Structure 1
Amino acid sequence: MTNATKTLAVVFAGTLVLALATTWSGGGAASTAAFQGELFAVDTSQVQAIRIERTDAPSIRLERADGTWSVAPTDTAATYPASTQAVQRLLRRLPSLEVGAVATRQPDKHPQYGVDSTGTKVTMLGADGQTLGQLIVGRTQMQRPSSGGQGQSPMQRMRRRRGMTPVTYVRTPDKPDVYSVEQSLNSLVERGLEAWRNKTIWTLDRSNIQRVKFSYPADSSFTMQRVVQKDTTAGSAETAGTWVSAGDTLDTSEVSSLLRELSSPEADGFAENTSPSAAGDTLYTVQLRLSDGTRRALRFHPADADNRYRATADGYPYVAQLRASNWDNSVLQGRSAFLKGE
């Protein structure tokens, strides 16, 4: 063998070792991209339903119809409006997972990573119920990150600088390969029914709220309203004006915070199996009058053991739970709390 032949043999062997190391370690950008395509390549614009199956809780089915999402537990016939933000977060995160490495290719090690029958299976379905993609999400554990490589994304490098990083193990049902993903997926796939529900009671443009009436026990009730003022500057239109109550001008900052809460009130939970007519006595009522003359009322009923008010609203078919401390400090206050200088 000549020296030239020996040199070529050494170069070839070195290249082969490097290629094998890159393939099995997942350290390069190319290998990560290949893992991504193999792992969960789903066109989310075609997804019409998502099924999330767990062994420790009822399965969840999310379904899209006419541009809106609904959520239903598979163990009941009930269906509820779903949180669009929560669904979109799931649709963004799963197809774009950044795979770190292959954890194992051996099926007998699946229980070790929680990607056996105990894992959470996520299935995305198309218009005719056809399966577009499936992923089994297993255990998440905190690990000290390994040394970085040139193929890492900025997000991966940032996590490494923080010290410990969450690592989740995933695989597709049709293959034994288990991959590690440097992020926690618990908040996406281990949500219960309540966490998937749309918690917005109503949504209003706060500039349309013209009057707020607080109905309290005894003689503590009061009303505040928006006063439209005319700008004396030539050619000027009417301005938004200020808020007053019984002739007193109210604090702009306090009223602004109040309107922010009342324009889009959010439930902290729901009183299941309770109809609005069975919510109990009404303690307080906050009624809004809008620019078009329509009214909205939010009624507060006695708090439960978790210190949450039960709340009902006009046209709202559910009984919401509102954290009492938050509403007592932001909305259900006396008139003096909104006065200037108080």
Structure 2
Amino acid sequence: MHKPYNNKILSITFGVLFVIYLATQFIGSEADERNFRTDLVTMDTTSVTRLVLNPKEGEAVTFTQEQDNWQVSQGGKTAQADQQAVQSLLGTLLQLEPQRLAARSEEKWNTFEVTDSLGSRVQAYSGENLLADVYVGKFSLQQLPPQQPMQPGMPPMQQQRPKATSYVRLADEPEVYAVDGFLTTSFNQPFNSWRDRNFLQLEKEKISRISFQYPADSSFTLALTDSTWTVNGTPADSAQTAQYLNQLVRLTSSDFADDFNTQGQNPIFQARIEGNNMSPVTIEGYESNGSFVLRNSLKPDVLVSSDSSGLYARVFKGREGFISIEE
């Protein structure tokens, strides 16, 4: 007499349990898919005092903070670092946001090139305290389809840029993560790319006199007298003088000549820059195998090379370069 009622209860109970089972499986699979780190590196970048970068090829590059300035060294060579490049490297570490889990075990490390021999490694320290230790491996590019037109009948929009994905892992964990971006260029640059490229920076308004010392009798002086630039007392062409000064006050170069030895050599060319409320600056030019090597008194240990049309030509201009053609 009670069987239909009991069967109905059993059916409802079974249905409820089945729904719970399905929900549990779905939620479990969702959780499993997102069961990985959301941030790989969490640190206060202001506390970082040293970075050690082991590129995919070549010697390790070390960045050391000294009196709020970063120095970069490789082998036995040390130089002033490009401060913005170091900050960009730190920012790249903080922005390593996993998009998905690419592998869970060491078996896939070679596949994604996140080993000492196949990938790059960067370590961040605060004193002797290790803050971050990350391997950067291979990358892949995915060509995205063109964007759909705004309205039917319109031609397809411009092809989208390929999506770059890089693979990384933390040194003390087996998991490999896929992150957005083309990280190879960030972690595999030659030593000179990390160096400060600023050869000379001056304030144009303070300059009032430049003395050029050249071989033979070609030396002359460019001077500002009563708001007028003159060459050995003769009025100079204002446009050509302004153009020269504009390029002189911001000189950069990445063609470093570290192997050039100035000891025992006298410069062939000199330009002494003087002015109001500024220390005099002397730029020296040496000849070297058909090209030139330059340095200035503000950075006497930094030597850069130039051909006849490069940095050399921007500094060492002849007298005729300041005189109007009509004269």
So what's the TM-score if we normalise by structure 2?
0.78
Per residue, is there more helix in 1 or in 2?
1
AA aligned opposite 1:221 = S
Q: Which amino acid aligns with 1:144?
A: Q
State the shift of 1:72 in Å. 2.2
* Equivalent position SS for 2:316: coil
Residues 236-269 of structure 1: per-residue CA shift (max 9 Å, x gap) = xxxxx453334324234x4344334433433323
Partner of 2:143: 144
Secondary structure of the equivalent of 1:170?
strand
| Structure 1 position 100, deviation (Å) | 2.7
TM-superposed CA distance for 1:122, in Å, is 0.7
Specify the code of the residue in structure 2 equivalent to 1:274. F
Which of the numbers 22, 30, 41 marks the counterpart of 1:19? Answer: 30
Tell me, what secondary structure is at the counterpart of 2:300? coil
Tell me how far 1:336 sits from its aligned partner.
3.6
Structure 2 residue 145 is matched with structure 1 residue 162: no
Amino acid at match of 1:265: L
Deviations 1:197-243 (A, max 9, x none): 32333432222211122333444433322344xxxxxxxxxxxx453
User: Contact conserved, 2:145 with 2:160, CA < 8 A, in 1?
Assistant: no
Aligned runs of 1:1-342 on 2, under 5 Å? 1-2=11-12, 5=16, 8-9=19-20, 12=23, 15-16=26-27, 19-20=30-31, 23=34, 34-35=37-38, 37=39, 39-54=40-55, 56-73=57-74, 75-76=75-76, 78-118=77-117, 119-127=119-127, 129-145=128-144, 162-228=160-226, 241-245=227-231, 246-252=233-239, 254-277=240-263, 280=265, 282-292=267-277, 294-304=279-289, 307=291, 309-314=292-297, 316-324=299-307, 325-327=309-311, 329-339=313-323
Equivalent-residue separation in structure 2 for 1:97 and 1:147 (angstroms)? 27
Question: Residues 64 and 70 of structure 1 are in contact (CA less than 8 Å); yes or no, is this contact kept in structure 2?
Answer: yes
Structure 2 residue runs without a partner (length 5+): 1-10, 148-157
Contact 1:242–1:250, Cα closer than 8 Å, also in 2 = no
Residue pair 1:276, 1:317 contacting (<8 A) in 2 also = no
| CA separation of 1:213 and 1:137: change in aligned 2, threshold 3 A | same
The verdict on how the C-alpha distance between 1:274 and 1:12 changes in structure 2, with shifts beyond 3 A counting, is: same
The offset of 1:297, in angstroms, is: 1.2
Contact 2:295 2:304 in 1 (8 A): no
- The answer to which of 85-94 and 317-326 deviates more is 317-326
Structure having the larger proportion of residues in strand: 2
CA displacement, residues 124-182 of structure 1 (integer Å, 9 cap, x when unaligned): 1113x11011111112343325999xxxxxxxxxxx96322332211111112112222
Whole-angstrom CA distance in 2 between matches of 1:188 and 1:163? 19
SS of aligned partner of 2:198: coil
Aligned partners of 2:52 and 2:34: how far apart in 1?
32
Tell me, in whole angstroms, the C-alpha distance in 2 between the residues paired with 1:89 and 1:189: 11
Partner of 1:317: helix, strand, or coil?
Answer: strand
SS at the partner of 2:27?
helix
Which residue identity does 1:296 align to in structure 2? V
Whether the 8 Å CA contact 2:257–2:305 is kept in 1: the answer is: no
Does structure 1 retain, via aligned residues, the 8 Å contact 2:53–2:60? yes
* Letter aligned with residue 126 of structure 1: S
Change (3 A) 1:117 1:211: same
SS of the residue corresponding to residue 34 of structure 2 reads helix
Contact 2:56/2:188 (<8 A) preserved: no
Gaps of 5+ in 1: 25-30, 149-159, 229-240
> For the pair shown, which has the larger CA radius of gyration, 1 or 2?
2
Shift of 1:22: 5.3
How big is the alpha-carbon RMSD for the aligned residues of Structure 1 and Structure 2?
3.3
2:234, 2:140 → 1: CA distance? 60
**Deviation string, structure 1 residues 65-93 (Cα, Å, up to 9, x no partner):** 221222222x43x4332221221111122
**TM-score if structure 1 supplies the norm length?**
0.75
The letter of the residue matching 2:122 is V
Would the alpha carbon gap of residues 183 and 323 (structure 1) be closer, same or farther in structure 2, given more than 3 Å must change?
farther
2:250 & 2:181 partners in 1: Cα distance?
32
